[in-house]
Amino acid sequence: MMNLLTTSQPRVTILMIARERHALTEAAIECVVANTSMPYRFIYTDGQTPEWLWQRLEQRSAEWGLELVRHDEPLWPHQLRNHVLGSITTDYLVCIDNDVMVSPGWLEPLVSCADETNAGIVGPLYMWGDGNKLSVIHMAAGYIKKVTTPEGIIELQEHLFENVNLDIVRHKLTRSECDFMEFHCMLIRTEVLKKIGGFDERLLNAHKHIDISLAIKQQGYKVYLEPTSRVDFLHYAPYRLEDLAVYRWRYSVAAVETSIQAYCEKWQVLDHPKAFDLLRKHLKKLAAEIDPILATFLGSTACHTPMQKSELKQTRSDLLDQAAEAGYTTQELKQLSDAYRLAQALTDGGYRPCGRPFINHLIGVSSVLMHYGFKIETLLAGMLHTFYSHGIRHPNGVQAAVTATEHMLGGVGSPVESRVRAYTKLRAKGLDAPLDFPYTHLNILDAEVILIALATEIEVRLSGEIAYSGKNNVLPATFENLVMDICKNLGVSGLAQTLIESKKLPSVTQELLTNIPASYRLQADKLRATPMSNNLLIST
């Protein structure tokens, strides 16, 4: 057996591709370079790489010993891999994604395992997290169980120790044969890969890893887990705005269904709910977590059309009717109803500068966001966006009030609380604060929060609050330009157009103005008003 630590010629080619985002690429490459001591060839390939990233890769490629292969058109992962496969002459090819961080000495155990077992595929222990908090196991190994029925074969998959803390099962993890590993990081014997004709490009985005594992096993080679090698898949790291188009394409329903059909035909298994419903639900859940816009709205005419004044809802019943007609689920309607009760309690006796009940404004903001198909967490944050700025007063002081508000919003870091907190800080910082980076580098959550601010501005215009209070809301040009770009990127250009059109609404005569600058509550004598603004977060 060749000593893999003393040979100067690389026996391994590391091939990294973009999985579904770009922001983590540079860190992933640096991690490979810093934690790999044995000789290797290193290639990065992608389709439609953003210009900023490609420039960085070109600037540092010599430093990293990195070969770059760029494509101007979008390509599926297996197309990218096959494009460079002909140039691979090393014993092994390691496929790795650009959102994976490797541990020190990760590569040697994979090669040793392949050498000592004659394995066709070897995979490490896969962890997953966000790069900050403690990771848990994503998969220790994959296993397949086939169930024969009168209709055909149902194929079931299992991820060993998924979401288990490593310390709990560390003693159970040993080098072992399994049925499949994953493309997050996978070592493949090159000669066998070329023998089967490379990667099957009919598999676009689903079951690619299982397909290649079965194909390699069909040639008489085994698949192994080598847990002394460990990688961290940064699945939970925040996504950038620029990643959204890639994500929508990579995990489109059409691509998923095409892949499932191709897999079933190739391996003669049934497209059965027990086999594939979990996969479909998983991908749908991921899309819902990442994409601010519901899939049912994407590409619709409504997304690119300005909202009309008559379409704004300001009562509980109208908002719930709007939600039902838009296709939000029964559970989501219940969440809106609960948020309304919470908002009603907070704003009881409160009025907007134009004289309408404060609760109408909160409903209206949610209505604007709902009109463009934002997901439920965003709608709820729109309904509750004033909880920190016009929050409750607590007999035990400001910090106690903040703690109580956090609890009402679902706890610190919960989907709604994090959005309301970020919105409050954005308004305190000011909408004229310029970004010191391209807008496409915004995290999707930050972009969402900016559009909640846009929805509040649109609401006070469509509702007549600006016209009848006499307030002179002049948005900074930097903010207007930013929201135009964000809305276009998200595919809801109509939301930004609504702001433009709402500015054209007619003003009213001077004698009809309230001339009240801020939201208020009437005091007990009903003659004097007290401002509602409290700014809990700013006070702590």
Q: CA-to-CA distance for 19 and 470, rounded, in angstroms?
A: 51
Which residues does the chain have with pLDDT short of 70? 1-7, 538-540
Q: CA-to-CA distance for 455 and 466, rounded, in angstroms?
A: 14
114, amino acid identity: A
Distances 203 to 206, 263, 427, 436 between C-alpha atoms, Å:
6, 7, 46, 40
Q: How many residues does the chain have?
A: 540
> Residue 446's pLDDT is what?
96
What domains can be seen in the chain, in order of their start residue?
12-290 (3.90.550.10), 301-539 (1.10.3210.10)
Q: CA-to-CA distance for 292 and 240, rounded, in angstroms?
A: 12
> Residue 1's pLDDT is what?
30
Radius of gyration of the chain (CA): 27
Q: What are phi and psi of 139, to 5 degrees?
A: -160, 130
Q: How far is CA 143 from the centre of its chain?
A: 28
Q: How far is CA 176 from the centre of its chain?
A: 33
Sign of the dihedral defined by the CA atoms of residues 174, 176, 181, 183, in that order: positive
Q: Tell me 172's DSSP state.
A: G
Q: What are phi and psi of 439, to 5 degrees?
A: -60, -30
71, amino acid identity: H
Q: CA-to-CA distance for 99 and 20, rounded, in angstroms?
A: 8
235, amino acid identity: H
Q: What are phi and psi of 14, to 5 degrees?
A: -95, 120
Cβ–Cβ < 8 Å for 476, 519: no
